[in-house]
Each structure stands twice: as C-alpha cells, then as structure tokens.
Structure 1
C-alpha cells in the first residue's frame, strides 16, 4: 500500500515509455475515491478546484506519489473522471500510472488514498515510495 502526500513542488521527471505491464488501460478512479475527493473539494477555496496526482522522483525506492490541489489544469493534463469528480494527471506521470486504480480505503488503522499500480515492481517498507 502506498501512502499519499500532498505537495506543490515543481515537476522533475522525464517522460518514459509505457512498458506494457498494465496493458492499454488508462487510470481508473474508484467510487470511494471519487466520493472522498468530492467531500474534500467541497471544503476548498476557488483556487483549489481540482485534485492533481503526480509521480515524483525520490524516496527510498525511486518514485513517490504526490496529490495537490490546482485551480486551472494545464492543456496537456489527462483528466480521469468518475461520478462528477475529475482528477488531473500530467502526461509524464500518466506514463507511470497507466493501468492504475486510485482508491480511498478506510481501515481501523488509517483512512487514506492508495494507488494500486501494476507497473510498480516493489514498494518500500515505509509505504511512501515505489520502483518500476
């Protein structure tokens, strides 16, 4: 399980080719994630209208996921929609996320967004980063 952190640092990754591990599928947003994002955005300002997912270089295993809020999406962002909720993904990050499911999970220990990424070959013990 990968933990999600919120961040607003600039993009730092170079585009990569999709290795085909996820097939031709795009990125899916679960109903529970869509509902939770809608709840969060209802409390945000006009400057925070969209939730964006990004893959950053770093962490103990090579890459990490970041969630942040944005007012206006760039023209080249990929839009993932579910139940009236839109998540934005930049094209570089989308290459790393092909075939993934963004979910929101509630357990006794935690309530958090998780990304089930078939491209990730491993994740670190702390749950904050992954490798491809």
Structure 2
C-alpha cells in the first residue's frame, strides 16, 4: 500500500527499498530526505541515514520504511512522489516534484 502523508507519497517500491536499506542499519535508523541549495539547477535532493528525529521533522512510515523530512525541506517537497527505479542505467530513488520548474539529467537537482 502506498503511504501518503502531508501531500508526499512514498510508493510501495520506495518503501520496500528503504526497508531493505534500514535492515542493515542500527535499530531506530530512518531515511532522511532533504532539499539543499546547490546542484546544477539550484537545489538538490539529499538522502541520508539518520537515527535522530528533530521536533519539527515529519515522520512517514510504510511497513519497515521510516522517512524523515525536516520542516524547511517539506515546503519544497509538498505534492512529491518518492519512488525507487531499477532500470538499465542503475538503481536510484526518484522524486517527482510538481513544484520543480526544471531538473537536470541526473535527477537529483532541480529549480523552482
């Protein structure tokens, strides 16, 4: 089942992959998705393993997947779909962000 929280969708494929990644981490670890300045288009997505949860973090859970998004990044991610793709060029998390006006070829950098 796809998890939808605060207009952010974590697909089942993404949730399964996140669960696999977190299974090899210490108990309580979560995937943190963030938006940072930089990249070739102005902003870039960050993916990190984090065991701490700040008071203003949004926590999205789907099965064994736990995702944290900080309050500032959340404003840039509203309406986004987080998916996991496995194709000929490799495996990666893919974010479909309706707020992005442009993105670069690598898929991790975008502009508003």
Normalised by the length of structure 1, the TM-score is: 0.75
Contact 1:57 1:64 in 2 (8 A): yes
Q: Which runs of 4+ in 1 moved over 3 A?
A: 125-128
Match of 1:49 in 2: 29
Contact 2:15 2:62 in 1 (8 A): yes
Verify: 1:67 aligned to 2:81, yes or no: no
Say which SS state the counterpart of residue 44 (structure 1) adopts: coil
More strand by share: 2
Say which SS state the counterpart of residue 14 (structure 2) adopts: helix
Aligned residues: 107
Q: Give the deviation of 1:59 after TM superposition.
A: 1.1
Verify: 1:103 aligned to 2:83, yes or no: yes
Q: Give the deviation of 1:112 after TM superposition.
A: 0.7
Structure 1 residue runs of 5 or longer lacking an equivalent are: 1-24
Match of 1:31 in 2: 12
Normalised by the length of structure 2, the TM-score is: 0.88
Larger radius of gyration: 1
Deviations 1:19-59 (A, max 9, x none): xxxxxx6111000000000001111124x611100000011
Structure 2 residue runs of 5 or longer lacking an equivalent are: 1-5
CA RMSD of aligned residues (A): 1.4
